Amino acid sequence: MITTVTTTTTMTLLNATSLALVGIGTLLLLLVQKEIVLSSQKQWSARVAQALNIGIVPLLVVLAMTVVMKFANVLG
Residue range 57-66, pLDDT digits in tens: 999 998 998 8
What is the spatial distance between Cα 66 and Cα 76, in angstroms, rounded to a whole number? 15
Percent of the chain with pLDDT over 90: 43
Which domain does 27 fall in, by range?
A: 2-75
Q: In Å, what is the CA distance from 20 to each residue of 25, 53, 62, 67?
A: 9, 19, 8, 10
Q: What is the pTM of this model?
A: 0.74
What pLDDT score does 71 carry?
A: 87
**What is the total count of domains within the chain?**
1
Residues of the chain under the 50 pLDDT cut: none
CA dihedral 7, 10, 16, 21 (to 10 degrees): -130
